[in-house]
Amino acid sequence: MLKLASMRNNLTFLQFKNALKDFPVFSTTDIYKAFPNIHRRRLHEWVGRGLLKRIVKGYYIFSDVPIEEGLIYSTANRIYDPSYISLQSALNWYGLIPEFIPQVTSVSTKKTTTLSTSIGSFAYSSVKESLMFGYDVLLLGDRGYKIKMAYPEKAILDLLYLNTHLNSVDHFFELRLNSEMFREKVRPDVLSQYLSFFSNKSLSKRVNILLNFMIGK
């Protein structure tokens, strides 16, 4: 928890950094909790000097923090909250699809959008609030980045739910899903349980086609 401090004209970057060192990605709200009287000009100055890196409006990281997978995923969660990693990025994480994903893909209750930043591109697909479930909190890297990542079953359902054109064996073949990893990672009982919350007959039909295709391979 941040310790409140009064802003002084002689506030140093080291003091600023020590107060926010436990935040991999921090917002202006986090900053004002620590330094209620800090002026935005100070932030612009530190960005200009290369000490801070602005991710999107209102969010920053320290420039000397290594850009690694954990930081990127943590950033995806933080800059568009609530959200969790899902879709192609989650499927790639579990080894279900082989392709490198140039964007970090997530789902959120906010509107669908793509955010291009200095550390990567982040794509968010909108779902209703009742479908914001089925994810785990992982700890990644030496810094222990906390990441909200969809379970493989939910990543599959999110993908099919948001892409209604995926409705045939040919389409599923084009996804290049790894059948061995599918059998290892995807729990049919969990998939069925999650599917029931969608209350979507079309989705249920397409999931059955996918299961027959993957398990029968």
**High-pLDDT (> 90) share of the chain, %:** 88
pLDDT in tens, 30-39: 999 999 999 9
- pLDDT for 213 beyond 90: yes
- pLDDT for 63 beyond 80: yes
pLDDT in tens, 201-212: 999 999 999 999
- pLDDT for 4 beyond 70: no
| Three-state secondary structure call for residue 12 | coil
**Mean pLDDT, the chain, as a whole number?**
93
Residue 2 pLDDT level (bands cut at 50, 70, 90): very low
Closest by CA to 141, choosing from 36, 59, 71, 62, is: 71
- pLDDT for 142 beyond 90: no
According to the model, what pLDDT value does residue 101 have? Answer: 80
Q: Give pTM, 2 decimals.
A: 0.91
- pLDDT for 215 beyond 80: yes
Residue 8 pLDDT level (bands cut at 50, 70, 90): very low
| Three-state secondary structure call for residue 128 | coil
- pLDDT for 152 beyond 50: yes
d(CA 75, CA 14): 23
Beta strands in 77-119 (DSSP E): 83-85, 103-108, 113-117
DSSP 85: E
Alpha-carbon distance values, 14 to 6, 39, 116 (Å): 15, 16, 29
Ramachandran region of residue 199, left (φ > 0), alpha (ψ -120 to 50) or beta?
Answer: left
pLDDT in tens, 79-105: 999 999 999 999 999 999 987 788 999
According to the model, what pLDDT value does residue 10 have? Answer: 72
According to the model, what pLDDT value does residue 102 have? Answer: 87
